[in-house]
Amino acid sequence: MPLHELAATSVAVRLWVPRGAAGDLAGGARSVLEGVAAIERVESLDVRGFRPTATDIRVDLRAEVVLVADAEAADLEAGFGVIEAEATVEAEA
* Per-residue pLDDT of the chain in tens (93 residues, 90 and over written 9): 454 454 458 899 999 999 887 789 999 999 999 999 999 999 999 999 999 999 999 999 999 998 888 887 778 999 999 999 987 755 554
Q: Which residues span the domain enclosing 71?
A: 8-87
Specify the number of domains making up the chain: 1
Q: Give pLDDT, residue 9.
A: 82
Residue 2 is assigned to a structural domain of this protein: no
In a domain, residue 93? The reply is no
The Cβ-side half-sphere exposure at 48, using a 13 Å CA radius, reads: 10
In the chain the first and final C-alpha atoms are separated, in Å, by 19
C-alpha to C-alpha distance for 64 and 56, rounded to whole angstroms = 23
